[in-house]
Structure formats: structure tokens, C-alpha cells
Structure 1
């Protein structure tokens, strides 16, 4: 059994929220597709309005209108990280969410993951982890599409502890949870 003690920071939660809502490959693809689809629909609507209007000439004003509509629809994609950061800042400043930032103890063992803070104790079975993602700073162990156990890698005290954690993940997290999300189209 490996015991990790840490406290999540506002920056940790921002990273978690960005990962869950934006950086996760399937979420990002779906979000981009929805914005592009909206841009295509609105552009097509402008074309149909112009085609069925008494003046059928496509002047420079018409093309500028299309460009402006597309930019208005697609521009939030380029500010998505800032939009999510603002939402997380509002969430983290709410005193009712203080439990997100309390001291956490996580025990990772053959039988599962046990998490404890001053407000709750939770036991997760390995079968409950539906997806695992990681970046250079965190492990994200998803319990659903929106809920995950966030483990900062800074909580690992040594390279040996990191290897032990990754060994337990490799032995107990299903292959589909490890790589399934990377191959789905």
C-alpha cells in the first residue's frame, strides 16, 4: 500500500477542470465540431437568405457578414481556457467549496483506492475507474465523464514510489480504461 498526503490548490483544480472540460481528446474534438457545425449552419442560412432575396448579387458586404458571423461563433474556441479558468476561480472562491482544498490522504492498494479528508472517507474499487489520463503533473482517474480522482505527481516522494503507483495502476486499471479513449473515433 502506498500512502500519499497532499492538498489540492486552486491551480490543481484549474488543471483538473481544464482536463475534464477541454483538454481531454474526446471532449475537445466534440466541442470543436459543435462550434464548426454552428458556423456552417449560420453561413448556410445567410446564403439561403441571400439566394431567396430579390437582390441575388453576392457583394463584398455579404462576404464580410459571413466572415463576421463565423468569427463570432468560432472565436470562443480560442478563449476556452480563459473561460474555464474564470469559472474555476468563481467556484474556488465560494466558501461552500472549501472541501476541494482540504488536506487529502490517499491510500493506493491492491484492493483499491481509499481517499480521506476532514469531511469524508471514500473507497474506490479498481473496476470503478473507467478511464485513466495523465500529463506531466497529474494522474486523472475517471469515475465517470465528469468525475475523477486527481492525484498530483508532486505527492509522490520518490521515483520508487512513482514506479510502485504506476505498477498498481498497470495491474488493476483495465486496458480499456488505460487506452480505450485514445483509440475511439
Structure 2
């Protein structure tokens, strides 16, 4: 009889721990970003090399303090492909999957659109955190998405290889 209670206790503890881990990964660390009108969506200008706000509406975003690459946002913009030519394009970027409850950000759809050349990608902010850039993808119909992803220096820093002289110095606590 005591063995059954012990085994039951272990199973219940494992289930509770599993549910807690699931909750923390999918819901617990994320928070909705408070919109800052006129500042939420920026693209790096080809002319100045600096991020500039673009017109947008319907902005929604989530983020988490636990990782610099958990940011995701969705918006719409009236800018045309010709107008977007004034901003720094990106050749490659891969949208990261968002939690299922943040339904405006479908990484698979965005990835297919980027792969097919239908959605155009732009640099939004370089080194928003050490080794992390913000990337924006915009569809021809004006739908847009932004996410943070590791850049060249970030990939090197986080896999443990020396970053080299082409990367900025890493400050204490950066990337955390």
C-alpha cells in the first residue's frame, strides 16, 4: 500500500512540474507591450543609417524579460514597396515561432512569404540588445511583423566561439 502512495505522489509531482514548465514557457514570461504611438515600428534609413519611425496602425506586441529574442509584433502600414525602398533591406532572416495565443504572428506564414519573395524584410534596429537585431517583414497588402533575432555577433557569442574584432565589445550583463 505504501508503494502505491509513493508512486502516486511521484506521478502527481511530475504532472504538476510539467504543467508549471509548460505554463511558464507559453504564458508566464510574456507580457503585452504597451504601444508608444509613433515609436513602435522603425526601419533603418539607407540615407542616414539610423532607425526612423514609419506610419503604422493596429500595433500589437509581446515581449519577455527572460530573453532578448522573445519580442514579436504585428501591425499594418500604408507604405508601398516603392516607399519602403528607402530602408535597409535584409536578405535573410527567419521569424521565430510565437506562442499560439498571440495569433496575429504566424511564423510559418511569414517564413513562406519571405521564402517566396512576396514579403520584404528590413532592418529595424541594429543591436537592440548585444548580438540581437530587430527585423521587420512587410507583405504587399501592408501587413507587417517584427521580431528580434541573433545577428552574426550574437550567434558567435551565444555558441561560445570568440566573437572577433568585427563585433562590438560586450558589456557586463549584456544579452541577459
Flag whether TM exceeds 0.5 (same fold).
no
| TM-score where L is the length of structure 1 | 0.32
The structure whose residues are more often strand, as a share, is 2
Higher relative contact order (CA 8 A, sep 6+): 1
| TM-score where L is the length of structure 2 | 0.34
The structure whose residues are more often helix, as a share, is 1
**Which structure would you say has the larger Rg?**
1
